Amino acid sequence: MATDTYTRRPAADTQGWSPVCPLEKLEPERGVAALVDGAQVALFRTGDELFALDNLDPVGGAYVLSRGIVGSRGGTPTVASPLHKQVYDLRTGACLDLPGVAVPRHDVRCRDGLVEVRLRREG
């Protein structure tokens, strides 16, 4: 199945939340890439939960995490990179296979049927 890419249209609100797409566009157990304020974000929907990570695979160096395999490890929701298969915790961004490696995560919510992302910026 192809991964759709959505670019936010309306501006972010005063709290930094940017609308991305309607919730129904996020298929359960699949990823989708979105451009949010110039950053590529990988969005995931598992059951009733939403997750947002940077789309950049820190090991492979390519923007591909949205195309990864969504699953779980020991009850932890995960995504496996399509490049080298490292597994990342969707809740924290931590790599479960390589200590000290992580993907930045972002805040995500659904409000009035619309998925919104707030970027967490380092520094």
For residue 48, pLDDT beyond 70: yes
Element holding 90 (H helix, E strand): none
Question: Residue 121's pLDDT band (boundaries 50, 70, 90)?
Answer: confident
pLDDT of residue 11: 56
pLDDT of residue 28: 95
In tens, the pLDDT along 69-118 reads 999 999 999 999 999 999 999 999 999 999 999 999 999 999 999 999 99
In tens, the pLDDT along 14-39 reads 689 999 999 999 999 999 999 999 99
pLDDT of residue 2: 43
Indicate the CATH number of 5-118 among 3.40.50.10800, 3.90.1150.10, 2.102.10.10, 3.20.10.10: 2.102.10.10
Q: Residue 42: name the closest of 80, 12, 13, 11 by CA.
A: 80
Element holding 115 (H helix, E strand): strand 114-118
5 or 75, greater pLDDT: 75
Per-domain boundaries in the chain: 5-118
User: Long-range CB contacts (< 8 A, 24+ apart) of 104-111?
Assistant: 104/53, 104/54, 105/51, 105/52, 105/53, 105/54, 106/36, 106/41, 106/52, 106/53, 106/54, 107/17, 107/52, 108/43, 108/50, 108/51, 108/52, 109/17, 109/50, 110/23, 110/50, 111/17
pLDDT of residue 8: 41
Distance separating alpha carbons of residues 58 and 81, to the nearest angstrom:
10
